[in-house]
Structure 1
Amino acid sequence: MLGLLRRSQVRLALRSAPRRGGFGSPKDHEPAWIERWMANRREGQDNMDWFFRVFNSTRIYENFLKSSPRFYGFVVWSAIIGGYCWSRMWDHIWNYVNQGKLYRHNPYVYPIPDDDE
């Protein structure tokens, strides 16, 4: 009987013991070189730091790119609008280069009718 009581007390003590973490647990620490590497954020040292600051200030990622449906919608609508703008840009360039040579630049002018009176 004493052994049975002892086992239940040991099980209860093991069950209530605080978990300190182990390999692969969230409390497990990485090697020191990885922690140093992750702590080095290179803020202000990167050549493209200005771009990332501007991009992050637009909040495009949080609003459009974070979830899959929004991302796919953003890609589709950006392609539609981007394709239209691309086409209109080349139409304007073609119009500028061929100024005076296209049919719409030279409208037909009807001659003044002669008076037969």
Structure 2
Amino acid sequence: MPMLSRSKLLRSALLRSKTRFGGFGSPKDHEPAWIERWSANRREGQDNLDWFFRLFNSTRIYETFLKSSPRFYGFIVWFSILGGYTWSRMWDHIWDYVNQGKLYRHNPYVYPIPDDDE
């Protein structure tokens, strides 16, 4: 074995081989060619919902609120609180509109005029 490690052939093979810092599943590993072609096809302007994606991207909501985890969770919590409150108030207003004049608060008690016994 020591003789093999000293041979010119082995040393030249070791010098020519470069250290690989990547491998299967690493970010430096390339995908198969068909996946590379499929990923390169962005379908820009061909999608039925392209107008929606352009509109959503123009709002910059993703970059502002959804890109980092703490901002995402904060956005979800606050949006849920405000959305739940708004949803509840909307249905309260609809209920009031449909039942106008039938609810207790719409018909306040009017005290009768006191009789003068004089």
State TM-score, norm by structure 2. 0.71
Q: Deviations over 1:63-108 (max 9, x none)?
A: 0011111011001001100110011011011111111100111122
Unaligned runs of 5+ in 2: 1-7
For 1:60 and 1:23, how far apart are their aligned partners in 2?
Answer: 36
For 1:67 and 1:18, how far apart are their aligned partners in 2?
Answer: 37
Unaligned runs of 5+ in 1: 1-6
Q: Partner residue of 1:4?
A: none
Q: In the TM superposition, what are the counterparts of 1:2-81 in structure 2 within 5 Å?
A: 14=15, 29-81=30-82
For 1:82 and 1:31, how far apart are their aligned partners in 2?
Answer: 45
What CA RMSD, in Å, does the superposition of the two structures yield over aligned residues? 3.1
Cα separation, partners in 2 of 1:46 and 1:84, compared to 1, 3 Å? same
Cα separation, partners in 2 of 1:52 and 1:87, compared to 1, 3 Å? same
For 1:29 and 1:41, how far apart are their aligned partners in 2?
Answer: 19
Cα separation, partners in 2 of 1:22 and 1:65, compared to 1, 3 Å? closer
